[in-house]
Amino acid sequence: MTYLGVDDTIVSSSGDVYFVGPGSLFSKVALRTVETELDGPTKRVPDMNSLRAARMTEAGTVSPAHMVVVHETCARDLLQALEDGAAFLPKRRLAIAFEREDAACALFADVCEALLNYRVSLLPMNTNVTSWVRLLQVIQAGGHYVPPEVLRTRPQTGARVEAVSRSAVSAVTAKVQDGLTPRESEVLSMAAAGSPNKTIASDLELSEHTVKLYMHRVIGKLGVKNRTEAAIWYHQNGQHA
Domain limit, last residue, from 129, 155, 181: 155
Q: What number of other Cβ atoms are within 10 A of residue 128's Cβ?
A: 11
Q: Let me know whether 121 and 187 are in one domain.
A: no
How many domains does one find in the chain? 2
Please give the span between the terminal C-alpha atoms of the chain, in angstroms, as a whole number: 14
pTM of the model: 0.64
Same domain, 68 and 90: yes
Q: Please tell me whether residues 180 and 68 are part of one structural domain.
A: no
Q: What H or E segment, with its residue span, contains residue 76?
A: helix 75-83
Name the CA radius of gyration of the chain, rounded. Answer: 18
Residues 188 and 85 in one domain: no
> Which structural domain range is residue 228 located in?
159-240
Together in a domain, 35 and 123 = yes
Residues 74 and 133 in one domain: yes
Same structural domain, 115 and 229 = no
Domain match, 62 and 128 both: yes
Write the Ramachandran bin of 120: left for phi over 0, alpha for psi from -120 to 50, otherwise beta.
beta
State which of 155, 189, 207 marks the end of a domain.
155
How far apart (Å, rounded) are the C-alpha atoms in residues 185 and 181?
6
- pLDDT of the chain along its 241 residues, tens only? 344 433 333 344 457 899 999 998 899 999 999 998 888 899 999 999 999 999 987 566 788 889 999 999 999 999 999 999 999 999 889 999 999 888 898 898 888 888 888 989 999 998 888 888 888 988 888 888 888 778 766 544 444 444 334 444 444 444 444 578 888 888 888 888 778 888 888 888 888 888 998 888 888 888 888 888 888 777 666 433 3
